[in-house]
């Protein structure tokens, strides 16, 4: 039962990450400035800055 719940949460997290990445990718292709790519709930625990995007 615990394994099923953890597997479900992990799968949903992966699906949400891919979905949000789709927004990021589309914005970059349309030359819309992207200031931040985030996943999860605020407050931010940490972050990585690459090419001016947090």
Compute φ and ψ for 31, nearest 5 degrees.
60, 35
Say whether 20 is catalytic.
yes
Nearest to 34 by CA among 50, 53, 19, 21: 53
Choice among 20, 23, 27, 47 that is catalytic: 20
Total Cβ atoms within 10 A of residue 42: 6
Annotated catalytic residues are: 20
């Amino acid at each position: 039962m615990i394994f099923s719940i953890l597997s479900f949460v992990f799968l949903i997290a992966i699906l949400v990450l891919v979905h949000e990445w789709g927004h990021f990718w589309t914005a970059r292709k349309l030359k819309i400035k992207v200031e931040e790519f985030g996943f999860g709930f605020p407050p931010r625990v940490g972050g990585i800055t690459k090419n001016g995007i947090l």
